[in-house]
Amino acid sequence: SGIGRNWPWASGGSSILAEFGTLHLEFVHLSHLSGNPVFAEKVMNIRKVLNRLDKPEGLYPNYLNPSSGQWGQHHVSIGGLGDSFYEYLLKAWLMSDKTDEEGKNMYYDAVQAIETHLIRKSSGGLTYIAEWKGGLLEHKMGHLTCFAGGMFALGADGAPPDKTGHHIELGAEIARTCHESYDRTSLKLGPEAFRFDGGVEAIATRQNEKYYILRPEVIETYMYMWRLTHDPKYRQWGWEAVEVM
């Protein structure tokens, strides 16, 4: 029909940050392969809108209304609904042979905001990425969020020189936290979401979060960390997961 629609549950029919972030990378690559610039032009229009919009505390909410061009609910997650937007800003810069300065700047600005407002350390010393809901933190980390360990480490090379080691260390800390979410279960498989409140750390506390559906994010972070550091523990952690599956 030529009429666009989104899911009604998505903040009044909004578009989802992770989805148009994914399309951004794919359409740019499609222009590269086809020689037709129209695909990249379409998604770069979205980028212009994002750069123009005010972002709460520098963070990107998970919903953007395609009609008004305004944010939907002020819910920020580096896991479900938000994840690949950040990942593909970084990868767009890498795939451009590091010429896409706008993508690079948006990524590192976003990481700075994530560090300031979402990344916290538990009393037991585990680094985690909370969710942000209208200015309040929910101390929950989804399995999907565990991709970020590999992302931080992959992005270390382009960070300011005094931040390179910090980004690698941040990736390592997230990898450790996600490994703990596996190791602290009876089956040694990580839950869909785990929490850092009520006296628990890296443990699922709600019945609807205690399931495992072969999500790849934790293993993906192990892979990146192994490739970038060659620390053998990451291969060992990956093998532990394979053995119990």
Q: Which residues does the annotation mark as catalytic? A: 192
How many other CB atoms sit within 10 Å of the CB of residue 207? 7
Residue 14 gets which letter from DSSP?
P
Maximal CA-CA distance, the chain = 56
**Of the candidates 163, 198, 193, 241, the residue with the CA atom closest to the CA atom of residue 78:** 193
How many other CB atoms sit within 10 Å of the CB of residue 29? 15
Cite the DSSP H helix spans in the chain: 17-34, 38-52, 83-95, 101-117, 148-154, 164-183, 217-229, 232-244
Where do we find the tokens 């680094």? 127
Query: Which are the contacts of 114, defined by CB distance < 8 A and separation ≥ 6?
Result: 59, 78, 86, 129
Beta carbons of 72 and 65 less than 8 angstroms apart: yes
Query: Which are the contacts of 197, defined by CB distance < 8 A and separation ≥ 6?
Result: 139
What are the φ/ψ torsions at residue 134 (nearest 5 degrees)?
Answer: 60, 35
